[in-house]
Structure 1
Amino acid sequence: MLREGIEAALITGIIASYLRQTGRSAWMPVVWVGIFLAVAASLLVGAGLQLVSAEFPQKAQELFEALVGLVAVGVLVSMVFWMRKAARSMKLQLHHAIDDAFQPGSAGGWALVAMVFFAVMREGLESVFFLLAIFQQSPSPLAPLGALAGLLCAVAVGYLVYIGGIRINMRRFFNWTGAFILLVAAGILSSALRNLHEAGLWNLWQGRAYDLSDILPASSPLGTVLSGLFSYQEAPATGEVVVYLAFLAVSLALFLRGDASSPARPLPQSASEPRP
């Protein structure tokens, strides 16, 4: 949620800064309308999915959790790779979109609302599926508290960047958090495979790969943290371990190779442009 919050701050900050630089600060309430609509729509999607899943029988519930996990893995992976690619030209593209919105004959405020809405909605939906997948694995109140803490930290960091209190190497931030999120996605994928088995749709490689229940039980404090972050299981099935390692090997190799081949420059003027 810290990363998602800073991504949203990056997008809205570029829009807010450009509106101010071009003498269009009076349109800032329109930006807030787009933000609030996107947040509300994301919450409605999450609440709707949760309510629908509560009516499912046990096996259908397991299938639903598996599908949510697979969707979460998809959006997390796409977010990591999309952000690294799009960040280099995001600022210029947003500037052009704002200028187009205010061209004669354009929708003006409605176009600006739509631009902010869809930009923030992308982050909101990614968060919804990620949080649903995590909450299904970690029913304790620590998971939502962690999500709230990450979001509040993102708001604080974004505000400090906006007023010039701190400067962040955004490219390095997104690279490190991208690798971390791929670790989280690998755990969600292995849990989705376990849900498919419990739904009766996957029965291969069900032997125990190892058993760490005597060394690091999932109920221990460290086990609870690892379970919440990386879907740690004290005695996973062989298939879960194979899927975890295979996904991690491929995704990290592509991520690190792409990072090594890209020029070592920060995201668009992240150290000098104010941003909420």
Structure 2
Amino acid sequence: MLIAFLIMLREGIEAALIVGIVAGFLKQSGHHDLMPKVWLGVAAAVLICFGLGFAIHRITGEIPQKQQEFVVGMIGLLAVGMLTYMLLWMQKAARSMKQQFQDSIQAALNKGGSGWALVLMAFLAVMREGLESVFFLIAVFTQSPDSRMPLGAAGGLLASAAVGILLYQGGIRLNLGKFFRWTGVFLIFVAAGLLSGSFRALHEAGVWNAGQQVIADFSGFLHEDSPLGVLMGGFFGYTDHPTVSDVLWYVVYLFPVLFWFLRGSQAASSSR
């Protein structure tokens, strides 16, 4: 539940920032009448992402077990790739995001078209964050089912919307640099566990068979079906009988991406 909340909070705030930049620019430039069209683009993106997530969840629940494990593994790999790209892109683009979007908005207004270019801009911005959330949540849920996951995701979405409104109105000041840095570090650990879990699913599907030697048995210390074990599995991909493949993929992803992310965050902070 908590991981779904944090994922939707982070992704929701990113989307809220983009929509907030659009709304703020339109208000300052005297084009506030175009905001209903922007909200139309936002609503369309949310509905499409929700429908896609529901469809994928239904489809994966109806196919045979072996094929289901393959789909779970591939969704996990896609989610890790999208998450990694999002983290590294956000790290580089955060400093110039506002100016870039304001330039894009002005260009859209100059072209005319009754504001439909802004609808498309808002739609694509929310759609991108929404698709990242959909694939990541599905991948986490299928590897560590939690009936409260939808509740956590809804809570994170509502919280991000509230933060976005308060930021737009100037009611609160949030250190976005620190927020994205620390949630980014947390999600890198989650993605490392998701990556190793994806290859476990591909092994169950008969696709990945390398490095399946069990290197330890932690079931006597922390069983993976215990409450804490389930929590650790959902957050970090914990298993009480890790294989060479599990550890290898976890380490190969975690250390390079974490080093790259922290180094880039430190450089961004220094430049600011």
Q: With the length of structure 2 as denominator, give the TM-score of the two structures.
A: 0.92
Mapped to 1, the partners of 2:104 and 2:122 lie a distance apart of: 10
Higher alpha-carbon deviation: 144-153 or 20-29: 144-153
> Could you tell me whether the CA contact under 8 Å between 1:12 and 1:116 is conserved in 2?
yes
Q: 1:252 aligns with which of 244, 250, 258?
A: 258
Distance 2:22 2:130 in 1: 18
RMSD of aligned Cα (Å): 1.5
User: 2-side partners of 1:188 and 1:258: how far apart?
Assistant: 23
- Taking the aligned partners of 2:10 and 2:271, their CA distance within structure 1 comes to 20
Give the helix-richer structure, 1 or 2: 2
Q: CA deviation at 1:260?
A: 2.7
The answer (yes or no) to whether the contact 1:143–1:228 under 8 Å persists in 2 is: no
1:87 corresponds to: 94
The size of the alignment, in residue pairs, is 265
Structure 1 residue 212 displacement after superposition: 1.5
Please say if residues 135 and 144 of structure 1, whose CA atoms lie closer than 8 Å, have aligned partners that are also in contact. no
Q: Is the Cα contact below 8 Å between 1:15 and 1:95 reproduced in 2?
A: yes
Query: How far 1:73 moved relative to its partner?
Result: 0.2
Could you say which residue in structure 2 is the equivalent of 1:118? 124
- Specify which of 232, 245, 270 is matched with residue 226 of structure 1: 232
1:229-262 superposed Cα distances (whole Å, 9 cap, x missing partner):
1221121222111110111011111112222333
- Residue in structure 1 matched with residue 14 of structure 2 by the alignment: 7
Give the ranges of 4+ consecutive aligned residues of structure 1 lying more than 4 Å apart after TM superposition. none
Q: Quick check: 1:209–1:241 contact (8 Å CA) kept in 2?
A: no
Counterpart residue identity of residue 50, structure 2: L
Q: Any residues of structure 2 matched to 1:30-49 within 5 Å, and which?
A: 30-49=37-56
Give matches, 1:1-276, under 5 Å. Answer: 1-104=8-111, 106-264=112-270
Query: How far apart are 1:175 and its partner, in Å?
Result: 1.1
Structure 1 segments unaligned to the other structure (5+ residues): 267-276
The separation in 1 between residues aligned to 2:148 and 2:230, in whole angstroms, is 10
CA contact (8 A) 2:73 2:198 kept: yes
Maintained 8 Å contact 2:91/2:261: no
How many angstroms apart in 2 are the aligned matches of 1:156 and 1:262? 27
SS in 2 for 1:4: helix
Q: Kindly provide the amino acid, as one letter, of the partner of residue 71 in structure 1.
A: L
Distance 1:114 1:178 in 2: 28
Q: Please tell me whether the aligned partners of residues 212 and 234 of structure 1 are also in contact (alpha carbons under 8 angstroms).
A: yes
Kindly state the Cα deviation for residue 81 of structure 1 after the two structures are TM-superposed: 0.5
> d(CA) in 2 for partners of 1:146 and 1:236?
28
Would you say the 8 A contact 1:101–1:108 is kept in 2? no
Of 62-71 and 163-172, deviating more is 163-172
**Cα gap change, 1:102 to 1:159, in 2 (>3 Å):** closer
Which segment drifts farther, 29-38 or 45-54? Answer: 45-54
- Residue pair 2:24, 2:168 contacting (<8 A) in 1 also: no
TM superposition shift of 1:265: 5.7
Percentage of pairs with the same residue = 50
Q: How far off its partner does 1:164 sit?
A: 2.5
Amino acid at match of 1:262: A
